[in-house]
C-alpha cells in the first residue's frame, strides 16, 4: 500500500527533540527522511544513555524510520556535497540556533538558488524581536509561553508540565507548516520557508489562558477554585477552568497515582449523588444546578472524594462510566507501558535494535486508513552513507575512503 508521503524526501539536519519529533512524523507518513549528522553524531545518541556503547532511548525514540548519513559541514568538501544533496530533496529541516545555517554558507536565498522547489523548515526558540538570539530549551519555552505561570497550586511556585509541549509540541506545529507548504507547492511549483518558534507554539497550546486573561477585566473567573484574583490568570491546581468543572480525587489505597480525574457535567450530578450516598443533593436548591455548585466546587469534590477514597481507581472508573460520567484514572508511566489496549492500538510499540535489543517507544498517534504507519528502528550513525553518497551521488569506494579519512564523512 502506498504511503501518504511516499516519494517526498526530507534532509533532516535537526537534533535533540523539537526537530526530530517533526521529521519522525513525516517518516511515519512515508517520507524518505535522511538524517544528516555531524561525524560525531546527534548529541542525544549519548545523552541519558542506559545501555553502554549503544544509542540512548532519547535518540532511538525520536528517530525511527529514518536513514543516517554523516557530513562535516565546516569543510569545503562537505559544503560541496551538501549542495548536491539539497538538489535531490523536497524538504530541508533544521533547528540550530538563529543564523547557524547561514554561517555555514547556506542562506535561504542561496538554498532557493540551489533548489527553487525546496521547502526549508526551521524551528527556533523565539520569533523576531528582543528574544531572537536567546537559547531555548523545553522548560524555557514553557516559562515564556504562558504554561508555567498557570501550572501548579495557587500557593506554590510555577511548575513545568511533564508533557514536552515546548519541544514535541513545536515539532507538531512544524509538521503542519511543512505539509501546508508541500500542498501549496503543488499549485505554485515553488518552495517556501516554514518557521516555528517554541515560545509561539507553547502559547498556542495555552490559548485558553490568554482567553481567561481577557475575561479577568470583567470580574473573577468563577470556574476557578481560587478565592482571590489579581491582574493575571492564577495557578489553579487541577481545576479545568472550563465550562465543566473537574478535579483529581483520591482513591484507595492512597498511592501517589491512586487518583481519578472527574468532570461534573450538569447531567452527571444526579447519578453522582446516588453513588456517593447523598441522593438528597440532587434536588437541593443549594446543589441542584451548576450555578448553585459553582461557589463551592471545593466542597463538591470533597464529597466525591470521601466516597472515592474507599475504592480503587479502576473500580471508581467502572462505577462512574456506568453513568456516562467523564473521568479517567491517573496512569503511571509503568501502567501506560504495560497497557494492553495501547499496545493493541500500536501507540506503545516494541522495536528491535541491533545494539540495545528490544525497546518500547511511542508509535504513530495519527491513524490514516489508507496509509498505516510501520514503526522501524532508528538508524546507526552513518549507517546509510554508502546508499546516499555511493549509490545516489555516485561516489566511488576510493572517494568514500578518502572522505572518511579526511573527516568529511
Please check if 77 is assigned to a binding site: no
Please check if 95 is assigned to a binding site: yes
DSSP letter for each residue of 36-91: EE-TT--GGGTTT--STTS--HHHHTT-TTEEEEE--TTSHHHHHHHHHHHTT-SE
**DSSP structural state of residue 312:** B
The whole-angstrom separation of Cα 108 and Cα 64 is 28
Q: Is the bond preceding residue 130 a cis peptide, omega within 30 degrees?
A: no
Question: Three-state SS for 246?
Answer: strand
- CB of 124 closer than 8 Å to CB of 197: yes
Please check if 295 is assigned to a binding site: no
Catalytic one among 167, 258, 315, 399?
Answer: 167
**DSSP structural state of residue 233:** P
H helix count then E strand count, the chain: 17, 11
Tell me the C-alpha to C-alpha distance, in Å, between residue 81 and each of 84, 304, 395.
5, 65, 10
Pairing of strands 259-263, 246-250: antiparallel
The whole-angstrom separation of Cα 117 and Cα 264 is 52
Please check if 328 is assigned to a binding site: no
Cell digits for 38?
Answer: 555531524
Which residue, chain included where needed, has cell 489579581? 230
Please check if 85 is assigned to a binding site: no
- CB of 93 closer than 8 Å to CB of 12: yes
Please check if 73 is assigned to a binding site: yes
Please check if 74 is assigned to a binding site: yes
The total of other beta-carbon atoms located within 10 Å of residue 294's CB is 12
Please provide residue 35's backbone torsions phi and psi, each rounded to the nearest 5 degrees.
-85, 115
Whether 155 is catalytic is: no
User: Which helix (DSSP H) or strand (DSSP E) does residue 170 occupy?
Assistant: helix 168-188
Please check if 138 is assigned to a binding site: yes
Please check if 265 is assigned to a binding site: no
Q: In 3D, which of 213, 268, 261, 271 has the Cα closest to residue 239?
A: 261
Please check if 244 is assigned to a binding site: yes
Please check if 204 is assigned to a binding site: no
Please check if 17 is assigned to a binding site: yes
Please check if 254 is assigned to a binding site: no
Please check if 243 is assigned to a binding site: yes
- CB of 119 closer than 8 Å to CB of 185: yes
Please check if 300 is assigned to a binding site: no
Strand partners, 193: 120
The whole-angstrom separation of Cα 308 and Cα 316 is 7
Binding site feature residues for CoA = 17-18, 71-74, 95-97, 103, 135-138
Binding site feature residues for substrate = 242-244
The catalytic residue positions are 167
Binding site feature residues = 17-18, 71-74, 95-97, 103, 135-138, 242-244
Amino acid at each position: 500500500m502506498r504511503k501518504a508521503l511516499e516519494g517526498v524526501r526530507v534532509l533532516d539536519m535537526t537534533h535533540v527533540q523539537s526537530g526530530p519529533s517533526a521529521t519522525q512524523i513525516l517518516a511515519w507518513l512515508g517520507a524518505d527522511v535522511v538524517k544528516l549528522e555531524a561525524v560525531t553524531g546527534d548529541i542525544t545518541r549519548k545523552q541519558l544513555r542506559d545501555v553502554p556503547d549503544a544509542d540512548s532511548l532519547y535518540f532511538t525514540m525520536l528517530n525511527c524510520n529514518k536513514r543516517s548519513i554523516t557530513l562535516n559541514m565546516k569543510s569545503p568538501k562537505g559544503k560541496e556535497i551538501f549542495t548536491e544533496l539539497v538538489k535531490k530533496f523536497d524538504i530541508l529541516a533544521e533547528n540550530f540556533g538563529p543564523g547557524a545555517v547561514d554561517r555555514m554558507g547556506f542562506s535561504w536565498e542561496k538554498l532557493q538558488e540551489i533548489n527553487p522547489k525546496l521547502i526549508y523548515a526551521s524551528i527556533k526558540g523565539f520569533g523576531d524581536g528582543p528574544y531572537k538570539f536567546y537559547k531555548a530549551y523545553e522548560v524555557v519555552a514553557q516559562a515564556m509561553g504562558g504554561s508555567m505561570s498557570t501550572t501548579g497550586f495557587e500557593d506554590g511556585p510555577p511548575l513545568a508540565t511533564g508533557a514536552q509541549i515546548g519541544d514535541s509540541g513545536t515539532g507538531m506545529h512544524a509538521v503542519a507548516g511543512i505539509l501546508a507548504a508541500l500542498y501549496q507547492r503543488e499549485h505554485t511549483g515553488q518552495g517556501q520557508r516554514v518557521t516555528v518558534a517554541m515560545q509561539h507554539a507553547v502559547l498556542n497550546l495555552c490559548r485558553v489562558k490568554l482567553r481567561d486573561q481577557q475575561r479577568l477585566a470583567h470580574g473573577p473567573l468563577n470556574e476557578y477554585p481560587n478565592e482571590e484574583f489579581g491582574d493575571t490568570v492564577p495557578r489553579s491546581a487541577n481545576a479545568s477552568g472550563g465550562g465543566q468543572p473537574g478535579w483529581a480525587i483520591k482513591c484507595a489505597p492512597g498511592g501517589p497515582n491512586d487518583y481519578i480525574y472527574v468532570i461534573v457535567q450538569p447531567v452527571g450530578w444526579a447519578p453522582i449523588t446516588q453513588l456517593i450516598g447523598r441522593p438528597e443533593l440532587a434536588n437541593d436548591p443549594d446543589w441542584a444546578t451548576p450555578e448553585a455548585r459553582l461557589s463551592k466546587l471545593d466542597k463538591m469534590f470533597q464529597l466525591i472524594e470521601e466516597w472515592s477514597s474507599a475504592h480503587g481507581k479502576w473500580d471508581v472508573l467502572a462505577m462512574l462510566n456506568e453513568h456516562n460520567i467523564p473521568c479517567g484514572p491517573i496512569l503511571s508511566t509503568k501502567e501506560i507501558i504495560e497497557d494492553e489496549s495501547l499496545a493493541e492500538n500500536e501507540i506503545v510499540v516494541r522495536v528491535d535494535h541491533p545494539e540495545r535489543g528490544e525497546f518500547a517507544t511511542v508509535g504513530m498517534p495519527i491513524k490514516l486508513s489508507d496509509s498505516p504507519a510501520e514503526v522501524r528502528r532508528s538508524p546507526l550513525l552513518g549507517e546509510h552513507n554508502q546508499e546516499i553518497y555511493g549509490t545516489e551521488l555516485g561516489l566511488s569506494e576510493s572517494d568514500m575512503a578518502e572522505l572518511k579519512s579526511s573527516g568529511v564523512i
